[in-house]
Amino acid sequence: MQAFEYASPSTLKEAIGMLSSKWGEVDVLAGGTDLLSLMKEYTHTPKKVVNIKGIKELGGITKSGAGLKIGATVTLDELVSNATIKSEYPSLLEAAMGVSSPQIRNMGTVGGDLCQRPRCWYFRQGFGILGQDKNGTSLVPKGENRFHALFPQAPAYYVNASSLAPALIALGAKVQVAGPNGNREVAVADLFVIPKSNSGRELSLAANEIVTSITVPSARGVKNATYEVRQKQALDWPITTASVALKMKGSTVSSASIILGHVGPTPVQAKAAESMLNGKSLTPDLAAEVGKAAAQGAQPLNGTAYKAQLVRTAVKRALLEALKQRA
Protein backbone atom coordinates (compact mmCIF):
# COMPACT_ATOMS: atom_id res chain seq x y z
CA MET A 1 0.00 0.00 0.00
CA GLN A 2 1.27 3.49 -0.79
CA ALA A 3 2.04 5.61 2.31
CA PHE A 4 -0.66 8.14 3.14
CA GLU A 5 -1.51 10.77 5.74
CA TYR A 6 -4.35 10.05 8.14
CA ALA A 7 -6.66 12.63 9.74
CA SER A 8 -9.52 12.10 12.17
CA PRO A 9 -11.44 15.36 12.57
CA SER A 10 -14.24 15.69 15.11
CA THR A 11 -16.38 18.22 13.20
CA LEU A 12 -17.90 18.19 9.73
CA LYS A 13 -16.48 21.64 8.97
CA GLU A 14 -12.95 20.48 9.74
CA ALA A 15 -13.42 17.33 7.64
CA ILE A 16 -14.66 19.28 4.60
CA GLY A 17 -11.72 21.66 4.94
CA MET A 18 -9.32 18.71 4.72
CA LEU A 19 -10.74 17.35 1.45
CA SER A 20 -9.42 18.30 -1.97
CA SER A 21 -11.48 19.66 -4.86
CA LYS A 22 -9.68 17.13 -7.10
CA TRP A 23 -10.65 13.44 -7.03
CA GLY A 24 -7.89 11.02 -6.09
CA GLU A 25 -5.89 13.26 -3.75
CA VAL A 26 -7.81 12.85 -0.50
CA ASP A 27 -10.39 10.15 0.25
CA VAL A 28 -13.18 10.04 2.81
CA LEU A 29 -12.70 7.02 5.09
CA ALA A 30 -15.75 5.56 6.85
CA GLY A 31 -15.65 1.83 7.76
CA GLY A 32 -12.86 1.27 5.21
CA THR A 33 -14.29 -2.06 3.99
CA ASP A 34 -14.12 -0.91 0.37
CA LEU A 35 -11.60 1.93 0.44
CA LEU A 36 -8.82 -0.03 2.12
CA SER A 37 -9.05 -2.93 -0.33
CA LEU A 38 -8.82 -0.43 -3.22
CA MET A 39 -5.76 1.13 -1.59
CA LYS A 40 -4.13 -2.28 -1.06
CA GLU A 41 -4.63 -3.03 -4.76
CA TYR A 42 -3.24 0.41 -5.75
CA THR A 43 -6.53 1.20 -7.52
CA HIS A 44 -6.84 4.18 -5.16
CA THR A 45 -3.63 5.88 -4.06
CA PRO A 46 -4.75 8.95 -2.06
CA LYS A 47 -2.15 11.14 -0.39
CA LYS A 48 -4.44 11.46 2.61
CA VAL A 49 -7.53 9.83 4.09
CA VAL A 50 -10.02 11.65 6.32
CA ASN A 51 -11.75 9.41 8.84
CA ILE A 52 -15.32 10.65 9.36
CA LYS A 53 -16.38 8.13 12.00
CA GLY A 54 -15.42 10.44 14.87
CA ILE A 55 -17.91 13.12 13.73
CA LYS A 56 -20.90 12.76 16.06
CA GLU A 57 -23.43 14.54 13.85
CA LEU A 58 -22.96 11.89 11.11
CA GLY A 59 -24.20 9.08 13.35
CA GLY A 60 -27.55 7.89 14.72
CA ILE A 61 -31.00 7.07 13.40
CA THR A 62 -33.83 9.45 14.28
CA LYS A 63 -37.52 8.94 13.68
CA SER A 64 -40.06 11.69 13.01
CA GLY A 65 -43.58 11.83 11.60
CA ALA A 66 -42.07 12.37 8.16
CA GLY A 67 -39.92 9.25 8.30
CA LEU A 68 -36.37 8.30 9.27
CA LYS A 69 -33.10 10.18 9.19
CA ILE A 70 -30.15 7.79 8.97
CA GLY A 71 -26.68 9.23 9.67
CA ALA A 72 -24.09 8.46 6.99
CA THR A 73 -21.81 6.66 9.46
CA VAL A 74 -24.58 4.42 10.84
CA THR A 75 -23.25 0.90 10.37
CA LEU A 76 -25.22 -1.74 8.51
CA ASP A 77 -25.45 -3.62 11.81
CA GLU A 78 -27.01 -0.58 13.55
CA LEU A 79 -29.40 -0.29 10.61
CA VAL A 80 -30.63 -3.89 10.80
CA SER A 81 -30.96 -3.66 14.61
CA ASN A 82 -33.24 -0.60 14.46
CA ALA A 83 -36.85 -1.33 15.49
CA THR A 84 -38.42 0.99 12.88
CA ILE A 85 -36.33 -0.50 10.07
CA LYS A 86 -37.50 -3.94 11.17
CA SER A 87 -41.18 -3.02 11.33
CA GLU A 88 -41.66 -0.41 8.58
CA TYR A 89 -38.90 -0.95 6.01
CA PRO A 90 -38.57 -4.69 5.29
CA SER A 91 -37.08 -3.93 1.86
CA LEU A 92 -34.19 -2.03 3.46
CA LEU A 93 -33.78 -4.66 6.17
CA GLU A 94 -33.55 -7.46 3.58
CA ALA A 95 -31.05 -5.48 1.47
CA ALA A 96 -28.79 -4.71 4.45
CA MET A 97 -29.02 -8.25 5.85
CA GLY A 98 -27.85 -9.52 2.46
CA VAL A 99 -24.48 -7.79 2.98
CA SER A 100 -22.41 -10.62 4.32
CA SER A 101 -20.76 -11.06 6.72
CA PRO A 102 -21.51 -9.83 10.28
CA GLN A 103 -17.97 -8.38 10.29
CA ILE A 104 -18.70 -6.29 7.17
CA ARG A 105 -22.04 -5.16 8.64
CA ASN A 106 -20.22 -4.14 11.84
CA MET A 107 -17.70 -1.97 9.98
CA GLY A 108 -19.48 -0.92 6.77
CA THR A 109 -21.62 2.22 6.89
CA VAL A 110 -24.77 3.27 5.06
CA GLY A 111 -22.98 6.23 3.41
CA GLY A 112 -20.11 3.93 2.40
CA ASP A 113 -22.49 1.37 0.94
CA LEU A 114 -23.99 4.04 -1.34
CA CYS A 115 -20.55 5.47 -2.27
CA GLN A 116 -18.72 2.13 -2.69
CA ARG A 117 -17.04 1.71 -6.05
CA PRO A 118 -18.15 -0.91 -8.61
CA ARG A 119 -16.91 -4.48 -8.33
CA CYS A 120 -16.00 -4.52 -12.07
CA TRP A 121 -12.84 -6.59 -12.36
CA TYR A 122 -11.46 -4.36 -15.14
CA PHE A 123 -11.78 -1.33 -12.85
CA ARG A 124 -10.32 -3.20 -9.87
CA GLN A 125 -7.37 -4.36 -12.02
CA GLY A 126 -6.45 -0.78 -12.93
CA PHE A 127 -8.22 -0.27 -16.30
CA GLY A 128 -10.27 2.67 -15.02
CA ILE A 129 -13.94 2.99 -14.17
CA LEU A 130 -14.97 2.41 -17.82
CA GLY A 131 -12.53 -0.52 -18.19
CA GLN A 132 -10.79 1.00 -21.21
CA ASP A 133 -7.53 0.13 -22.97
CA LYS A 134 -4.91 2.73 -23.99
CA ASN A 135 -6.97 3.64 -27.08
CA GLY A 136 -10.07 4.40 -25.04
CA THR A 137 -11.86 1.19 -26.11
CA SER A 138 -13.79 -0.64 -23.42
CA LEU A 139 -12.49 -4.13 -22.70
CA VAL A 140 -15.86 -5.22 -21.29
CA PRO A 141 -18.10 -5.98 -24.33
CA LYS A 142 -15.61 -8.39 -25.89
CA GLY A 143 -14.09 -9.61 -22.65
CA GLU A 144 -15.30 -11.69 -19.71
CA ASN A 145 -18.44 -9.91 -18.54
CA ARG A 146 -20.85 -12.34 -16.88
CA PHE A 147 -21.31 -10.15 -13.79
CA HIS A 148 -21.64 -6.93 -15.78
CA ALA A 149 -24.70 -5.03 -16.99
CA LEU A 150 -27.93 -6.29 -18.48
CA PHE A 151 -28.94 -2.66 -19.03
CA PRO A 152 -25.60 -1.03 -19.95
CA GLN A 153 -25.34 2.71 -20.60
CA ALA A 154 -22.37 2.85 -22.98
CA PRO A 155 -19.59 3.58 -22.29
CA ALA A 156 -20.43 2.19 -18.82
CA TYR A 157 -20.86 -1.58 -18.60
CA TYR A 158 -20.19 -2.17 -14.89
CA VAL A 159 -23.03 -2.58 -12.39
CA ASN A 160 -23.71 -0.36 -9.40
CA ALA A 161 -22.68 -2.38 -6.34
CA SER A 162 -24.96 -0.95 -3.66
CA SER A 163 -27.67 -3.25 -2.31
CA LEU A 164 -29.19 -0.42 -0.28
CA ALA A 165 -29.61 1.91 -3.28
CA PRO A 166 -32.54 0.08 -5.00
CA ALA A 167 -34.48 -0.18 -1.72
CA LEU A 168 -33.82 3.47 -0.82
CA ILE A 169 -34.78 4.69 -4.31
CA ALA A 170 -38.01 2.65 -4.30
CA LEU A 171 -38.88 4.21 -0.92
CA GLY A 172 -38.23 7.74 -2.26
CA ALA A 173 -35.17 8.44 -0.07
CA LYS A 174 -32.89 11.46 -0.36
CA VAL A 175 -29.27 12.02 0.64
CA GLN A 176 -28.06 15.14 2.39
CA VAL A 177 -24.66 16.34 1.24
CA ALA A 178 -22.30 18.92 2.79
CA GLY A 179 -19.41 20.67 1.05
CA PRO A 180 -17.45 23.93 1.02
CA ASN A 181 -20.41 25.73 -0.59
CA GLY A 182 -22.96 24.58 1.99
CA ASN A 183 -25.53 21.82 2.17
CA ARG A 184 -27.69 20.32 -0.53
CA GLU A 185 -30.09 17.42 -0.93
CA VAL A 186 -30.37 14.97 -3.83
CA ALA A 187 -32.70 12.07 -4.49
CA VAL A 188 -30.78 8.80 -4.01
CA ALA A 189 -31.60 8.03 -7.67
CA ASP A 190 -29.70 11.16 -8.71
CA LEU A 191 -26.61 10.27 -6.70
CA PHE A 192 -25.53 7.84 -9.43
CA VAL A 193 -24.30 9.09 -12.80
CA ILE A 194 -22.33 7.80 -15.78
CA PRO A 195 -18.68 8.87 -15.45
CA LYS A 196 -17.53 11.46 -17.98
CA SER A 197 -14.16 9.76 -18.48
CA ASN A 198 -12.20 6.64 -17.57
CA SER A 199 -10.81 8.47 -14.52
CA GLY A 200 -14.19 10.04 -13.65
CA ARG A 201 -16.62 9.22 -10.85
CA GLU A 202 -19.93 7.44 -10.90
CA LEU A 203 -21.41 9.69 -8.19
CA SER A 204 -22.87 13.18 -8.56
CA LEU A 205 -20.72 14.31 -5.60
CA ALA A 206 -17.81 16.74 -5.78
CA ALA A 207 -14.51 15.42 -4.42
CA ASN A 208 -14.82 17.70 -1.38
CA GLU A 209 -18.41 16.81 -0.51
CA ILE A 210 -19.53 14.36 2.18
CA VAL A 211 -22.82 12.48 2.41
CA THR A 212 -24.06 13.42 5.88
CA SER A 213 -27.38 11.55 6.13
CA ILE A 214 -30.14 9.77 4.25
CA THR A 215 -33.82 10.60 4.83
CA VAL A 216 -36.44 7.98 4.06
CA PRO A 217 -40.12 8.96 3.94
CA SER A 218 -42.50 7.14 6.26
CA ALA A 219 -43.48 3.77 4.82
CA ARG A 220 -46.80 3.57 6.64
CA GLY A 221 -49.31 2.32 4.06
CA VAL A 222 -46.50 1.28 1.72
CA LYS A 223 -45.86 -2.42 1.19
CA ASN A 224 -42.17 -2.84 0.45
CA ALA A 225 -39.85 -5.74 -0.21
CA THR A 226 -36.51 -6.68 -1.73
CA TYR A 227 -35.64 -9.95 -3.45
CA GLU A 228 -32.01 -10.72 -4.20
CA VAL A 229 -30.59 -13.43 -6.46
CA ARG A 230 -27.13 -14.51 -5.35
CA GLN A 231 -24.68 -17.04 -6.68
CA LYS A 232 -23.84 -18.04 -3.13
CA GLN A 233 -24.80 -17.00 0.40
CA ALA A 234 -21.28 -16.22 1.59
CA LEU A 235 -19.23 -13.05 1.09
CA ASP A 236 -20.49 -11.80 -2.23
CA TRP A 237 -22.71 -9.21 -3.87
CA PRO A 238 -26.09 -10.10 -5.43
CA ILE A 239 -26.21 -10.82 -9.17
CA THR A 240 -29.64 -9.22 -9.51
CA THR A 241 -31.93 -7.43 -7.05
CA ALA A 242 -35.47 -6.09 -7.22
CA SER A 243 -36.82 -3.66 -4.61
CA VAL A 244 -40.48 -2.71 -4.71
CA ALA A 245 -42.62 -0.17 -2.83
CA LEU A 246 -46.39 -0.23 -3.33
CA LYS A 247 -48.65 2.58 -2.10
CA MET A 248 -51.97 0.92 -1.41
CA LYS A 249 -55.56 2.16 -1.48
CA GLY A 250 -57.44 -0.65 0.19
CA SER A 251 -56.51 -3.75 -1.74
CA THR A 252 -55.48 -1.91 -4.92
CA VAL A 253 -52.10 -0.45 -5.78
CA SER A 254 -52.33 3.32 -6.17
CA SER A 255 -48.69 3.72 -7.22
CA ALA A 256 -45.74 1.38 -7.55
CA SER A 257 -42.00 1.76 -7.57
CA ILE A 258 -39.84 -1.06 -8.93
CA ILE A 259 -36.06 -0.61 -8.88
CA LEU A 260 -33.57 -3.15 -10.21
CA GLY A 261 -30.11 -3.45 -8.71
CA HIS A 262 -26.84 -4.99 -9.98
CA VAL A 263 -28.00 -4.97 -13.60
CA GLY A 264 -26.91 -1.50 -14.72
CA PRO A 265 -24.27 1.14 -13.96
CA THR A 266 -27.02 3.00 -12.08
CA PRO A 267 -30.02 1.35 -10.40
CA VAL A 268 -32.71 0.80 -13.07
CA GLN A 269 -36.30 2.02 -12.68
CA ALA A 270 -38.66 -0.44 -14.38
CA LYS A 271 -41.18 2.20 -15.48
CA ALA A 272 -43.32 0.09 -17.84
CA ALA A 273 -43.60 -2.61 -15.19
CA GLU A 274 -44.57 -0.05 -12.53
CA SER A 275 -47.42 1.35 -14.61
CA MET A 276 -48.96 -2.12 -15.03
CA LEU A 277 -49.78 -2.13 -11.31
CA ASN A 278 -51.57 1.20 -11.05
CA GLY A 279 -55.18 0.79 -9.89
CA LYS A 280 -54.90 -3.02 -9.90
CA SER A 281 -55.16 -5.68 -7.23
CA LEU A 282 -51.90 -7.58 -7.13
CA THR A 283 -52.26 -11.28 -7.92
CA PRO A 284 -49.58 -13.94 -8.56
CA ASP A 285 -50.44 -13.86 -12.30
CA LEU A 286 -50.09 -10.08 -12.46
CA ALA A 287 -46.80 -10.25 -10.50
CA ALA A 288 -45.43 -12.66 -13.14
CA GLU A 289 -46.54 -10.36 -15.99
CA VAL A 290 -44.98 -7.35 -14.27
CA GLY A 291 -41.75 -9.34 -13.83
CA LYS A 292 -41.68 -10.04 -17.58
CA ALA A 293 -42.21 -6.36 -18.37
CA ALA A 294 -39.33 -5.38 -16.04
CA ALA A 295 -36.84 -7.28 -18.21
CA GLN A 296 -38.00 -5.62 -21.43
CA GLY A 297 -35.55 -3.20 -23.00
CA ALA A 298 -32.55 -5.18 -21.75
CA GLN A 299 -29.45 -4.97 -23.94
CA PRO A 300 -27.43 -7.91 -22.68
CA LEU A 301 -23.70 -8.25 -23.21
CA ASN A 302 -22.53 -11.63 -24.50
CA GLY A 303 -22.31 -12.93 -20.93
CA THR A 304 -25.31 -11.30 -19.22
CA ALA A 305 -28.42 -12.52 -21.08
CA TYR A 306 -29.12 -14.94 -18.21
CA LYS A 307 -29.84 -11.95 -15.97
CA ALA A 308 -33.11 -11.21 -17.83
CA GLN A 309 -34.69 -14.31 -16.28
CA LEU A 310 -33.29 -13.30 -12.89
CA VAL A 311 -34.98 -9.90 -13.25
CA ARG A 312 -38.34 -11.53 -14.08
CA THR A 313 -38.10 -13.82 -11.08
CA ALA A 314 -36.74 -11.21 -8.65
CA VAL A 315 -39.50 -8.72 -9.49
CA LYS A 316 -42.24 -11.34 -9.24
CA ARG A 317 -40.94 -12.62 -5.90
CA ALA A 318 -40.41 -9.13 -4.44
CA LEU A 319 -44.02 -8.25 -5.37
CA LEU A 320 -45.37 -11.46 -3.86
CA GLU A 321 -43.33 -10.83 -0.70
CA ALA A 322 -44.79 -7.31 -0.47
CA LEU A 323 -48.30 -8.70 -1.02
CA LYS A 324 -48.00 -10.77 2.18
CA GLN A 325 -47.47 -7.64 4.28
CA ARG A 326 -50.09 -5.69 6.17
CA ALA A 327 -49.34 -2.12 5.04
Ligand X SMILES: Cc1cc2nc3c(=O)[nH]c(=O)nc-3n(C[C@H](O)[C@H](O)[C@H](O)COP(=O)(O)OP(=O)(O)OC[C@H]3O[C@@H](n4cnc5c(N)ncnc54)[C@H](O)[C@@H]3O)c2cc1C
| Contact status: 28 vs ligand X (CB under 6 A) | yes
Instruction: Give the other-Cβ count within 10 Å of 100's Cβ.
Output: 15
CB-nearest residue to ligand X: 112
**C-beta of 24 vs 284, nearer to ligand X:** 24
Instruction: Figure out which of the listed residues 15, 16, 27, 151 binds ligand X, where binding follows CB under 6 A.
Output: 27
Closest distance between ligand X and the C-beta of residue 279, in Å? 33
- Are the C-beta atoms of 251 and 281 separated by less than 8 Å? yes
**C-beta of 108 vs 291, nearer to ligand X:** 108
| Contact status: 267 vs ligand X (CB under 6 A) | no
Find the part of the chain contacting ligand X (CB under 6 A) among 86-94, 122-130, 233-241, 295-303: 233-241
Please list the residues that pair with 71 across neighbouring strands: 213
Instruction: Figure out which of the listed residues 15, 16, 26, 32 binds ligand X, where binding follows CB under 6 A.
Output: 32
Which amino acid, residue 169?
A: I
Give the CA count within 13 Å in the CB-facing half-sphere of 174.
Answer: 11
Characterize 30-44 residue by residue with b for buried, 16 or more Cβ atoms within 10 angstroms of its Cβ, and e for exposed: bbbbbbeebbeeebb
Closest distance between ligand X and the C-beta of residue 274, in Å? 23
Closest distance between ligand X and the C-beta of residue 95, in Å? 7
Q: 18, exposed or middle or buried, with CB in 10 Å at 0-12, 13-18, 19+? A: middle
CA-CA distance, 320 to 327, in Å (whole number)?
Answer: 13
What is the x/- site pattern for ligand X, positions 76-115, by CB under 6 A?
----------------------xxx---x--xxx-xxx-x
| Contact status: 211 vs ligand X (CB under 6 A) | yes
**C-beta of 35 vs 120, nearer to ligand X:** 35
Count, residues near ligand X per rule CB under 6 A: 33
Closest distance between ligand X and the C-beta of residue 32, in Å? 4
CA-CA distance, 233 to 221, in Å (whole number)?
Answer: 31
- Are the C-beta atoms of 158 and 118 separated by less than 8 Å? yes
- Sheet harboring 26-29: ordered strands across? 5-7, 48-51, 26-29
CA-CA distance, 176 to 216, in Å (whole number)?
Answer: 11
Which residues are at the interface with ligand X (CB under 6 A)? 27-35, 52, 72, 98-100, 104, 107-109, 111-113, 115-117, 161-164, 210-211, 235, 237-238
